Amino acid sequence: MIENKNQSRTSLSELGEFGLINHLTQNFKIQHKTTIKGVGDDAAVLEIKNKQLLVTTDLLVEGVHFDLSYMPLKHLGYKAVMVNLSDIYAMNGIASQITVSIAVSNRFTLEAIEELYEGIHLACNAYNVDLVGGDTTSSTTGLLISITAIGEAKKEDIVYRNTAKPNDLLVVTGDLGAAYLGLQVLEREKRVFEVNPNSQPDLTDYSYLVERQLKPEARKDIVKILKDLDVKPTAMIDISDGLSSEILHICTQSKVGCNLYEEKIPLDPQVISTCEEFDLNSTTIALSGGEDYELLFTISQEDFPKIKGNPHLTVIGHIADESVGANLITRAGQQITLTAQGWNALRD
């Protein structure tokens, strides 16, 4: 994490709305030929030939989606972009532009909003997207940030949620559950800090978890890896709400069932050790934790040799007929119906 070097506190009203927009956006460089006009007119102008457009938007509200007592504004800006790009990659597309709308109260200084935009800028450069517009308005109390991402893909490359077929393999990228545990660790430290403001948190044992919560990366790399391997998933979704709920979206929309194997779910060692410490079941956390921003997809069995051994990809189960239902097969071989909250066995 990077501290804000600039300690001055400039009131937003000193700049005015146009001064602020200009100040925030002046250093963003246009990277795409498809961006004909970015910030500065009534609307951005994009030219996308022979492709289909992908458009997605997310709204983040202070106190609901983020807590500024442990989420630095720079990280918030970065994460807000990632959340949107992840949805474009989940369609097997390339993200090319974003718009950013913010509502800020006078509690925020210019320096604070600059930090937010530093995070957005970092994300735009790292993921090669252009900032092409937005809106700026005031709010009575908290901060709201809404980002819209625009992407493109050839018609034949786009992957939907409703096209998984029985016998397809269920594949997940990366590992699961870390972002949720990162949040638990940060909330615990916040409570400690509230009791003892002189306490210095030691997060070394949780570095991966905290990083996954505060600085998630959208899986742009997977879109390229799949293309290079010549694998087109039969269905795909990003894991923002937990594995369980996303698998159920694919099953419901594709009208199929699935068997997911508990022993196959990829977990980082820090997830396993922290679950033990917090007395949590790591499978439940992977199934229901959320905010992992990994991709979940299905592939036809004949493509298995192409992905076999790839360190980014884990086969965790397979698609079945709808009549089979959506099931978790536990390490003990027990079959449990998946629910959006996790699995039935854990509900009282």
Contacting positions for ligand ADP (CB under 6 A): 21, 24-25, 39-42, 100, 102, 131, 133-136
Q: Which is nearer to ligand ADP, 42 or 348 (CB)?
A: 42
Nearest to 316 by CA among 334, 302, 335, 329: 329
Give all strands (DSSP E) within the chain, no chain letters.
35-37, 45-46, 52-61, 94-104, 130-138, 144-153, 169-173, 235-239, 257-261, 294-299, 313-320, 326-329, 335-339, 342-343
Structure tokens at 259: 């068997």
Q: Which does 76 bind (CB under 5 to 8 A by kind): ligand ADP, Mg ion, none?
A: none
What would the two tokens of residue 235 be? 């269905």
What is the distance between the alpha carbons of residues 16 and 2, in angstroms, rounded to a whole number?
28
The residue (of 39 and 54) whose beta carbon lies closer to Mg ion is 39
Note whether 83 and 60 are within 8 A (CB): yes
Distance, in Å, from the CA atom of 198 to the CA atom of 185, rounded to the nearest integer, reads 18
Q: Which is nearer to ligand ADP, 23 or 306 (CB)?
A: 23
Residue 187 as a binder of Mg ion (CB under 5 A): the answer is no
One residue of 14, 17, 135, 276 binding Mg ion per CB under 5 A: 135
CB of 77 to ligand ADP, least distance (A): 11
Q: What is the dihedral of CA 147, 152, 157, 161, to 10 degrees?
A: 20
The entry of Mg ion, ligand ADP, none near residue 326 (CB within 5 to 8 angstroms by kind) is none
* Binding partner of residue 133 among Mg ion, ligand ADP, none, CB cut-off 5 to 8 Å per kind: ligand ADP
Q: Which helix (H) or strand (E) holds 114?
A: helix 110-127
Name which of Mg ion, ligand ADP, none residue 104 binds, using a CB cut-off of 5 to 8 Å depending on partner kind.
Answer: none
Binding string, residues 94-133; x marks residues near Mg ion by CB under 5 A: ----------------------------------------
Question: What tokens does 149 get?
Answer: 């991402």
Residue nearest to ligand ADP (CB): 133
As measured in angstroms, the least distance from the Cβ of 320 to ligand ADP is 46
Q: Which is nearer to ligand ADP, 102 or 123 (CB)?
A: 102
Nearest approach in angstroms of CB 6 to ligand ADP is 19
Instruction: Tell the smallest beta-carbon distance from residue 46 to ligand ADP (Å).
Output: 13
CA distance 29 to 248: 40
Q: How far is the CB of 135 from Mg ion (least distance, A)?
A: 4
**Nearest distance from residue 74's CB to ligand ADP, in Å?**
16
Between 21 and 60, whose beta carbon lies closer to ligand ADP? 21
Strand order in the sheet with 313-320: 235-239, 294-299, 169-173, 313-320, 257-261, 326-329, 335-339, 342-343
Footprint on this chain of Mg ion (rule: CB under 5 A):
135
